[in-house]
Structure 1
Amino acid sequence: MTDIVTVKNLKVVFNEGNEQVYAVNGVDLSLHQGETLALVGESGSGKSVATHALLGLLGKDVVVTADEMLYGETDLLQTSRRQYTHLRGQELGLIFQDPLSGLNPTMRIGRQIGEGLKVHRYVHGHALKQAVFAAIEDVGLADPALIARKYPHELSGGQRQRAMIAMALVMQPKVLIADEPTTALDVTLQAQILALIKAQKVKHDLSVIFITHDLGVVANIADRVAIMYAGKIVEVGTANEIFYHPQHPYTWGLLDAVPSSDDQRDQLFTLPGTPPDLHQPIKGDAFAPRNPYAMPIDFKKEPPLFQVSPTHFVRSWLLDPRTPHYQPPVTIQKRWARFAQLHAEQTNDPVVESQQAGGVPV
């Protein structure tokens, strides 16, 4: 499968006076042509910073390094500011987390949507107006002429988010980065925006990076899911692998935070503590202080990526063959059983689960 975005060993350090913040600590990331990759993690995990580094949107006081950062065959590490402006205008689209901060409050919606067409495609006059109206209509907003004349504060939250999507798609980009696009919306509007992004991806043949802190919202939109914690990807796999065969305790906690209508648990699997202070380099596994399954090695040495399947990788010492036997939470065991059932239904063969010393089905 062709990769449209490739990132290897991405590191981002913010300089804050005499202090540094190690926001991204060696991220490897690939986005396949035509897929939706969900980047999931709690606030401060580095997911937005990593994608903003990819887009060249970080300030001068931020140090961005990587072994490789490619968009197609374009080396983004060698890209000038002018070239980046061109790429963001025509190839890479971004939906900001907060429409109120992403939209200019002093400009009418139509003018903001059409700005990229004027600057990068030299579209003017009647052709520009028709293109703007078409973009507004394309995201499900009725009466595009009326919407185009309005200012951001005159629109509802859902309308503003749709306007942001129109602004991102009007240039027909190849890659769309959606940064927490449903965070400030109620459940009904969330579902509408997710359905809209999914439909636009198919219609415009987009490759999408969908950023969120909520695993629940990506269940029906993502092809693959990458879990981030403290500036690193700790688990990545297909959506089925992450939802039904998760291997990292942090992923277990995120999944158990997703409400379920058939949930009859007396107690949730909870993660104690808080994310680490990123002002200092971290020794060992960054998740170790919060990990109920942590072993002495977790506090001394960072785990490598262990391969569970050709598409599933996990950064946890639990997958080391030398790890003593352990039992994951009951809710996770049920997910594993469901995964085995799905596998059997797809292959017509029962799953023979070989147990590592650590008790992890592989």
Structure 2
Amino acid sequence: MGKYNFIFINGKFLEQKLTGVQRFAYETVKNIDTLIDDGAAFSELKDKVFLCVPSDVDESKLDFLKNIKIRKAKKGTGIFWEQTYFANDIRKNKALGLHLCNTVPFLQKKGIVCLHDITYTIHPEFVTTGKHQLMRLWHIVQDKVCAKKTLAILTVSENSRNEICDCFKIPQSRVDVVYNGWQHFSTEIAEGTTLSKWPELVEGKFFYSMSSLAKNKNFNWIIETAKRYPEYTFAVAGKMDLKKYGDTLSAGSELKNLHYLGYVSDDEAKLLMKNCRAFIFPSVFEGFGIPPLEALAMGTKVICAKASCLPEIFGDSVYYIDPYNYDVDFETLLSGKVSPASEVLEKYSWEKTASKTLEVVKRFF
């Protein structure tokens, strides 16, 4: 220790809903908090770690920490806070920045970043609207800065590490794989959470999926499959942002066996996973893919695209489909044998993610 006085964690993710990369950041920070406690593996860092958050983060979102100290900005929100006030805070306090959600402040880029994937850089075909194109341009710049200018890169699968290194021509030693966890789904479903909210769904009789309209999520597979198999019921949860991704919903709006549930809470997602016939994840590109892991944790059968990092993550514990083939014999598919979910679940935990992250931090702190 000596080059840096503190470790400042980028807390911009607390302005957003806990999905995907935000979930990764929240659970990683929560477990870092445990690992720096007195007598724990990284207790020497206890007084050095701060979570820095924008001015609009509600105090109720900050009560999950015991050891990490909070630095809440007096002003500034979102990207503007990250790129200005937070960057200046890092500089003034001679802190090591830890950025867990794909972006860094350009003025203080010599930190550690988790680059979950580089979708925007290597898959321009996934961009479908003007709003989405602006986001792509922002992330293309961020991807390059993260890959070329930071001290170290974290990512969430070997597949992502290979893509980052191949695209930016950097050595594998620059990138550490930290994976994700599932333990946020290990708690009991809250009392009063029932399927009665969705009377069209019958226990054990519907297929469940979590998706957005982003093209890599391959929502069209659900629509086309529902068209071909009216005898099956399909339920899809998630935010459907038409301005960002374009209108794909209209193609399935007349299907009586396809139901859009909107955003669901963790407890509702657990309930839906536990009571569906199988969880479907037809995505063609992922950095990791947390939802199938959550479903396995709930004891649910998982139907997964044989694409991207998914075979790496889930091995032989899920039922694979061709994400471009809509003709599926569900009865035959689900009667096949797969390996126990425990083979996957034992490999991943948020504690392991946090521990590996702190190991990387200690190389530079």
| TM-score normalised by structure 2 residue count | 0.33
Work out which of the two has the higher radius of gyration on C-alpha atoms and give 1 or 2.
1
Structure holding more strand per residue: 1
| TM-score normalised by structure 1 residue count | 0.33
